[in-house]
Amino acid sequence: MAHAWHDLSWRCEGGEDVDENDPTKFNALIEIPMGSKVKYELDKDSGLLKVDRILSSSVVYPSNYGFIPQTLGDDNDPLDVLVLMQQAVAPMIFLRARPIGVMGMIDQGEGDDKIVCVHCDDPEYSHYTDISELPPHKLQEMRIFFEDYKKLEKKVVQVTGFQGSKAAREIVAKGIKTYQAYIKEKEKAGESLVSPKLQAYKTFFSD
């Protein structure tokens, strides 16, 4: 059993030469399908998905939602992504994504920015390169969802605004470096975050 956060590389097929200091495409692992009211969430210990809760408000996720593997954000979780595409994607499926912007967000007083992406292999969305190219309604849809989805839980979420692709790539690059430093510290402490089964698999085929 592979660990969704640690064992899957952020580097995607066809993106082997992508500069980690300016990541223009990467793997994104989907946790929550577009149109869902179920809040699936990564269990960081096991690498599996758990059902965190059912949304209290009568709203559904406006896009596929997930994270970038092998990244670490300021909230000590992998970086969150909203992936714009035509179809809902099943949980625990990964795809190639391009960052086109970032939605600034404060969730109960803490920063919780979302990287806005498009699916690289969806012909309806793959041509977008910056969030400014999206229809204004799409941005409003995302903003209103996140400002409303916790209201009935008496929790305050504020969307602070949108920034373009350059800001998104900078956040992702920082997240990659922060994760690499995190892994080095764990290795110094004698901890391995790669799943035992995958480690055994790699060891078997390297002997």
Encode the chain (207 residues) as per-residue pLDDT tens digits.
789 999 999 999 998 899 999 999 999 999 999 999 999 999 999 999 999 999 999 999 999 999 999 999 988 999 999 999 999 999 999 999 999 999 999 988 888 899 999 999 999 999 999 999 999 999 999 999 999 999 999 999 999 999 999 999 999 999 999 999 999 998 888 876 766 555 554 554 455
Mention every residue, 6+ apart, whose C-beta is less than 8 A from residue 170: none
Give the span between the Cα atoms of 62 and 97, in whole angstroms: 17
Model pTM score: 0.91
Give the span between the Cα atoms of 192 and 47, in whole angstroms: 13
Give the span between the Cα atoms of 130 and 75, in whole angstroms: 25
Contact 115, 105 (CB under 8 A): no
CATH of domain 26-189: 3.90.80.10
